[in-house]
Amino acid sequence: MAQFCFFFLLLISVIFVPCAFSRSFSSSNPHSQSFDVTEFIKKTVQVLSPTSQTFQQEAIRSTPSNSSSISVSIYPRSALVKPRHKDYESLTLSRLERDSARVSSLTMKLTLSLTNFTHSDLKPVQTMLQPEDLQTPITSGASQGSGEYFTRLGFGQPAKEFYMVLDTGSDITWLQCEPCSDCYQQSDPVFNPSGSSTYSRVSCDDAHCSALEVSACGTNACLYQVSYGDGSFTVGEFATETVSFGNSGSFSKVAIGCGHDNEGLFVGAAGLIALGGGTLSLPSQIKALSFSYCFVDRDSASSSTLDFNSARPGDSVIAPLLRNSRRSTFFYVGLTGISVGGQMLSIPASVFQVDGSGNGGIIVDSGTAVTRLQTTAYNALRDSFVKFTQNLPSAGQFALFDTCYDLSSMKKVTVPTVAFHFTGDKTLSLHPKNYLIPVDSSGKFCLAFAPTEGSLSIIGNIQQQGTRVSYDLANNLVGFSPDKC
């Protein structure tokens, strides 16, 4: 009898267990994903909680002395300065306002580059940059430089450390300097050049001064100005200084802006680290062969890293890193299409390509939050996403988002996978948190894409969160490696 029972159980396991596995496997769909609604609603409450903790200040990360790579920590905006909003909805509206200003600024930069404007056309009125006129008030809105992610670098000798905004859409690194005629509040003491033995003003006939888009000549010193799309800007003298990365190393004679008149919602950062593709950007000046970053969730108190000259993760989805000859700052990527739920959208390939006049194309940008697509591309994505989510209750619009859902009564939902397709048949599938985001603490979630009336499309940092983005400058490649923060 015991032998019969054993044989019977064995027979059952052979016949039924494989079938169970088969059903489980066949029910899984690579074109859809489960999204934990409860987890993200909980985060919206925690980020504004009086008891929530911001990060503990970390020392700049170091690498072994025999390594040429450099690594420093990256923090989200909410970890540096506690959000002061009555609820998550008002915090979201504030973020979207800053984001719209950011996109306007990038669009303006490109537009000026593609028109007949020259550097001389952009030069400020001479009196505007004179020391006696630095008290002139500046009208400011939500500045492009407000930033969403920060790192901590050292300036001067001996080095003083400062929190700096990361920006792949800029070429001029700058920080607030004494004497400060008009400066916003920052978390660190303002940099005093007189306390550094390596600070040196750039002369008016220096090549660094000539490379500036907007400059003037002061008293035997080059003066710079960086303007942003909302009317805010930074003005000061251009100088060279030592920039240090903790025990990872330092670089001397890096050209930076020493801003004596700065206005904008920069939160608490001392200035901005320019990671763009121009000759004056930090990667260009330190002759970095590559750099990479990974952005943690913007509502997280954790950190990740910004790395220079480090090896790209082996599992990276590789795409061509393209340049626009009319605007060297921006990092364009070879995107060929977008799919929703495994179905390629009907979008002309030309939408994601730079034409002969320098219009079009799509860039990867650290400072833009929400991915912007040309209207035809966005409409195709939205309509397809709505088709796959007819079972989810609609919640109308929210600010720039026109596709939102009321998920307040749900713990988990299934949503279609959204994927980017790059040249060479490479595919990057996004996690649901990269395209369905909470806009309040009551369960309202929105599709985190938006249309743009301009020709330039932008992959924003919401879509980059949780993915290490690697810029191989030597080989003109960009890599995306999920879960490498």
CATH 2.40.70.10 domain position(s) in the chain: 135-287, 317-482
Query: Residues 204, 283: contact at Cβ < 8 Å?
Result: no
Asked whether the beta carbons of 300 and 485 are under 8 A apart, the reply is no
402 as an active site residue: the answer is: no
What is the chain's length? 485
Average pLDDT, 10 consecutive residues per value, the chain (485 residues): 40 34 41 94 86 50 55 83 82 89 85 65 36 23 54 95 92 94 88 97 94 87 82 87 90 97 76 95 97 92 91 94 91 97 95 91 94 97 98 96 97 97 96 97 97 94 96 97 90
CA gap 48, 94 in Å, rounded: 14
Burial of 349 (0-12, 13-18, 19+ CB in 10 A): exposed
Torsion of CA 37, 38, 40, 44, to 10 degrees: 130
The DSSP line for 125-145 is PGGGGSGGGTT-----SS-GG
pLDDT in tens, 19-67: 332 322 233 577 999 999 999 999 999 888 766 555 544 434 444 334 5
Distance of CA 462 to the CA centre of its chain: 8
Buried/exposed code over 135-159 (b: 16+ C-beta within 10 A; e: otherwise): eeeeebbbbbbbbbbbbbbbbbbeb
User: Where does 317-482 sit in CATH, by number?
Assistant: 2.40.70.10
Q: Tell me what pLDDT residue 129 has.
A: 29
Coil/strand/helix, residue 332: strand
Gyration radius of the chain over CA positions: 25
* CA–CA gap between residue 416 and residue 406 (Å, rounded): 17
- pLDDT of 108 reads 82
pLDDT, residue 23, reads 29
As to burial, measured by CB atoms within 10 angstroms (0-12 exposed, 13-18 middle, 19+ buried), residue 350 is exposed
Peptide bond into 131 cis (omega under 30): no
d(CA 26, CA 36): 22
Position 67 scores a pLDDT of 55
Residues 225, 267: contact at Cβ < 8 Å?
no
Q: Identify the active-site residue in 167, 230, 307, 440.
A: 167
Dist. CA 82–CA 52, nearest whole Å: 9
Please identify which of the residues 261, 299, 307, 365 carries the catalytic annotation. Answer: 365
Residue 32 CA to residue 340 CA, distance in Å, equals 9
pTM here is: 0.85
**Close Cβ partners of 118 (under 8 Å, ≥ 6 residues apart):** none
Tokens of 29: 């769909």
No. of helices (H) and no. of strands (E), the chain: 9, 29
Question: Can you give the pLDDT at residue 131?
Answer: 27
What's residue 97's pLDDT?
87
Helix H or strand E segment including 420: strand 418-422
What would the pLDDT profile of 379-393 be if each residue is shown by its tens digit? 999 999 999 999 999
Q: Is 483 left (phi over 0), alpha (psi -120 to 50) or beta?
A: left
Residue 88 CA to residue 299 CA, distance in Å, equals 11
The reply to whether 36 belongs to the active site is no
Non-local (6+) Cβ contacts of 265 within 8 A are: 98, 140, 142, 143, 146, 184
* Alpha-carbon distances of 314 from 278, 311, 481, 484, rounded to whole Å: 28, 8, 8, 11
CATH number at 135-287: 2.40.70.10
Q: Which amino acid is at 375?
A: T
Full DSSP string of 21-61: HHHHHHH--TTEEEEEHHHHHHHHHHHT-TT--PPPPPPPP
